[in-house]
C-alpha cells in the first residue's frame, strides 16, 4: 500500500511510492555529484505526477539543474588546470638546472634551497620539475630542478620550460670521466631545440644567459678534468667549479644566480623618511627612474615631477631626470 505524505506547503496528499522513497534514500546517501544527479533523476521519474506533488517536482528539477551546473563547472575547472610540468615563476627570477643524467642537479637544489629532491646514484631520479627558493642577500631566486636531457627520453615540454626560464645553469659532473661527451650531448640537444645560450657578460639578445657549474670539484681527478673542460667549453660560457660536500664556491654560486638574471635592486625612499633596504623593487638591468616610478605605483608615471637619487657612487640626493639609468642598490625618492 502506498504511503501517504503531506507536504507542509500542500493541501493535497503526495502519496509517495516506495520507488520514490528508495530513490530519495539514494540521494541522501550519495557522496559524489554524479550519484546525486542519478538519484535526483530517479526521484523525478518515480514521483507521482499530480497537483499535490507539483512543488516537489519543481524543487527536484531545481536540484537537478544545480547539480548539473556544479558538475559542468568542475569539468571546466579541470580543463583549466595547469599541466603537471608547469612551474609558476616566483621571486626575482627563474633559473633552471639542466644537465645529463646523474650530473648532480638535485644536489645543487638541495644545497641552495629548502627543497628536498630525491638524490640517488641512479639516473632519472628527477621525473618532474621541482622548484626551490634560493636566498641571495635580500631577494629570493627560484631554482628549478629538471629531468635530465638525453637523446631518447627528453620530452617537448622540458625544452619549453628551459625556453621560458630567465636563465640556465648547466650542471656537469667533474667526477665523471665522460663529462666532455655528456656536455656536448646536452649542448647539441639545446641547439636542436633552438635554445641558444650566451655568457651573461655578452650583449643582451634572444639567447639565454647561462653558465657551467662544475660539480664534485673535490672528487679524485676532478681538477685535471676541470682544466680539460675549460679548454673545451670555457670559450662558450663561464665555468664555476663547486662542491656541495666541502662547500667550495657555493656562496659564489648564489651571487652567480643573481647576476644571471640581469636585474637590479632599487629601493624607494619616501620624502623625509629612511628607505626600507629589506624590500627592494627588482627591475631589469637598464631600467630608468621612470620604470622604477611605474613599478612603485602606476599613478607615479603621469604625476612624477622629479626624483632624487642616492647611489653607491657620486649620487647623494641629487635630482635626476626621468630617463636616468639606475644601478643595483640605488635609492630613489619620488616627488609627485
Give the DSSP per-residue string, 323-334.
TPBP-TT-EEEE
Look at the block and give the residue holding cell 613599478: 295
How many angstroms separate the CA atoms of 42 and 30, rounded?
Answer: 13
Here the cell at position 198 is 650566451
Q: Give the span between the Cα atoms of 297 and 309, in whole angstroms.
A: 17
CB 297 within 8 A of CB 262: no
Helix (H, G, I), strand (E, B) or coil at 71: helix
Domains of the chain with CATH codes: 18-80 (1.20.58), 94-261 (3.40.50.300), 263-335 (3.10.20.30)
C-alpha cell at 192: 636542436
User: What does the pLDDT read at residue 121?
Assistant: 54
- Which of the residues in the chain have pLDDT under 50? 1-12, 122-124
pLDDT at position 298 is 77
**Quick check: 92 and 141 in contact, CB under 8 A?**
yes
**Phi/psi of residue 126, each to 5°?**
-90, 120
**Which pLDDT belongs to residue 30?**
82
pTM of the model: 0.72
- Provide, for the chain, the percentages of residues in helix, strand and coil under a 3-state DSSP scheme, each rounded to the nearest 5: 35, 20, 45
* Residues 207 and 194 sit within 8 Å (Cβ to Cβ): no
**What pLDDT score does 3 carry?**
44
Pick from 161, 167, 262: which is nearest to 211 by CA? 167
Pairing of β 197-198 and β 130-136: unpaired
Residue 284, SS3 per DSSP: strand
- CB of 334 within 8 A of CB of 296? yes
| CA dist list (Å): 75 to 80, 119, 175, 294 | 9, 37, 50, 39
Q: Which grid coordinates are listed for 94?
A: 627563474
If you ran DSSP here, which 8-state letter would residue 114 be given?
A: S
The three three-digit cell numbers of residue 302, written as one number: 603621469
Closest CA to 64 of 87, 46, 41: 41
Query: Phi/psi class of residue 168: alpha, beta or left (left: φ > 0; alpha: ψ in -120 to 50)?
Result: beta
For 4, 24, 58, the CA distances from 12, given in Å and listed in that order, are: 10, 20, 16
Q: What is the pLDDT of residue 117?
A: 65
| pLDDT for residue 78 | 52
Q: Select from 329, 291, 260, 268 the least CA-distant residue to 91.
A: 260
Amino acid at each position: 500500500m502506498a504511503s501517504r505524505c503531506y507536504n507542509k506547503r500542500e493541501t493535497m496528499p503526495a502519496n509517495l511510492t516506495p520507488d520514490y522513497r528508495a530513490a530519495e534514500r539514494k540521494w541522501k546517501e550519495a557522496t559524489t555529484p554524479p550519484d546525486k544527479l542519478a538519484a535526483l533523476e530517479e526521484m523525478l521519474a518515480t514521483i507521482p505526477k499530480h497537483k499535490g506533488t507539483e512543488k516537489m517536482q519543481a524543487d527536484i528539477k531545481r536540484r537537478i539543474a544545480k547539480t548539473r551546473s556544479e558538475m559542468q563547472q568542475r569539468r571546466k575547472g579541470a580543463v583549466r588546470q595547469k599541466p603537471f610540468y608547469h612551474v609558476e615563476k616566483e621571486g626575482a627570477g627563474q633559473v633552471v638546472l639542466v644537465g645529463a643524467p646523474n650530473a648532480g642537479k638535485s644536489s645543487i637544489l638541495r644545497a641552495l634551497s629548502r627543497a628536498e629532491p630525491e638524490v640517488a646514484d641512479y639516473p632519472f631520479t628527477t621525473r618532474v620539475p621541482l622548484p626551490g627558493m634560493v636566498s641571495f642577500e635580500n631577494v629570493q631566486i627560484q631554482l628549478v630542478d629538471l629531468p635530465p636531457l638525453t637523446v631518447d627520453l627528453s620530452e617537448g615540454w622540458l625544452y619549453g620550460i628551459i625556453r621560458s626560464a630567465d636563465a640556465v645553469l648547466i650542471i656537469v659532473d667533474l667526477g665523471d670521466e665522460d663529462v666532455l661527451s655528456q656536455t656536448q650531448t646536452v649542448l647539441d640537444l639545446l641547439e636542436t631545440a633552438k635554445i641558444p645560450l650566451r655568457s651573461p657578460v655578452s650583449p643582451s639578445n634572444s639567447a639565454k644567459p647561462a653558465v657551467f657549474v662544475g660539480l664534485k670539484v673535490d672528487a679524485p681527478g676532478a681538477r685535471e678534468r676541470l682544466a680539460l673542460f675549460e679548454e673545451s667549453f670555457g670559450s662558450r660560457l663561464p665555468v664555476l667549479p663547486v662542491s656541495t660536500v666541502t662547500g667550495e664556491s657555493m656562496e659564489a654560486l648564489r651571487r652567480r644566480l643573481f647576476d644571471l638574471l640581469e636585474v637590479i635592486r632599487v629601493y624607494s625612499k619616501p620624502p623625509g623618511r629612511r628607505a626600507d633596504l629589506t624590500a627592494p623593487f627588482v627591475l631589469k638591468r637598464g631600467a630608468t627612474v621612470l620604470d622604477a616610478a611605474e613599478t612603485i605605483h602606476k599613478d607615479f608615471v603621469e604625476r612624477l615631477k622629479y626624483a632624487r637619487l642616492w647611489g653607491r657612487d657620486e649620487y647623494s640626493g641629487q635630482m635626476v631626470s626621468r630617463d636616468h639609468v639606475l644601478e643595483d642598490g640605488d635609492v630613489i625618492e619620488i616627488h609627485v
